[in-house]
A and B are shown apart, each in its own frame.
Chain A
Amino acid sequence: MEKSIETIWKEGFLKNDALVAPKLNDLYNQKSIHIIDKFKRMFKINLNALVVFSFVVLVVAFFVKIPVLGVLMFILFNTIVIVNKKLLKGLNNIDKNVNSYLYLKSFDNWMKEQISINMKMSRYIYPYIFLAIISGFWFSSDFQETLNRIFGNYQAYMVYGIPVFWVLGILFIVILLAIFGGRIYKWDLNIVYGRILKKLDETLADMVELRASN
Chain B
Amino acid sequence: MSSDFYTSSILPYSGIIIKICRAYTDTQEDFEDYYQEVCLQIWRSKDRFRGDSKWSTWIYRLSLNICLTLIKKKKKKRQHHASNHELTAEATEDNHAFSDESLNLLYDAIRKLTEVDRAVILLYLEEKPNKEIAKIIGTTPNNIGVRVNRIKERLKKLLDGKIN
**Assuming the A-B contacts A1-B156, A5-B125, A21-B11, are A11 and B102 also in contact, with contact meaning beta carbons closer than 8 angstroms in the complex?**
yes
Contact B163 A3 (CB under 8 A): yes
Number of residue pairs spanning A and B whose beta carbons lie under 8 angstroms apart: 87
Using Cβ atoms and an 8 Å threshold, which residues of chain B touch A89?
Answer: none
- In the complex, A28→B1 CA distance in Å? 11
Closest residue on chain B to residue A24 by CB atoms: B36
Chain A interface, >50% SS class = helix
Our pick among B19, B33, B37, B99 for the contact of A17 (Cβ within 8 Å) is B99
- Residue B3 lies at the interface, judged by CB distance under 8 Å to chain A: yes
**Assuming the A-B contacts A1-B163, A27-B40, are A210 and B103 also in contact, with contact meaning beta carbons closer than 8 angstroms in the complex?**
no
A199 → chain B closest CB, angstroms: 13
Q: How many residues of B contact A (CB 8 A)?
A: 36
- In the complex, A6→B156 CA distance in Å? 11
- In the complex, A114→B152 CA distance in Å? 59
Contact B36 A17 (CB under 8 A): no
Using Cβ atoms and an 8 Å threshold, which residues of chain A touch B15?
Answer: 13, 19
Contact A19 B14 (CB under 8 A): yes
A26 → chain B closest CB, angstroms: 7
**Assuming the A-B contacts A1-B163, A21-B18, are A12 and B103 also in contact, with contact meaning beta carbons closer than 8 angstroms in the complex?**
yes
Contact A2 B164 (CB under 8 A): yes
Q: A-facing mask of B99-129, CB < 8 A → 1, else 0?
A: 1101101100000000000000000010000
Using Cβ atoms and an 8 Å threshold, which residues of chain A touch B100?
Answer: 11-12, 15, 18
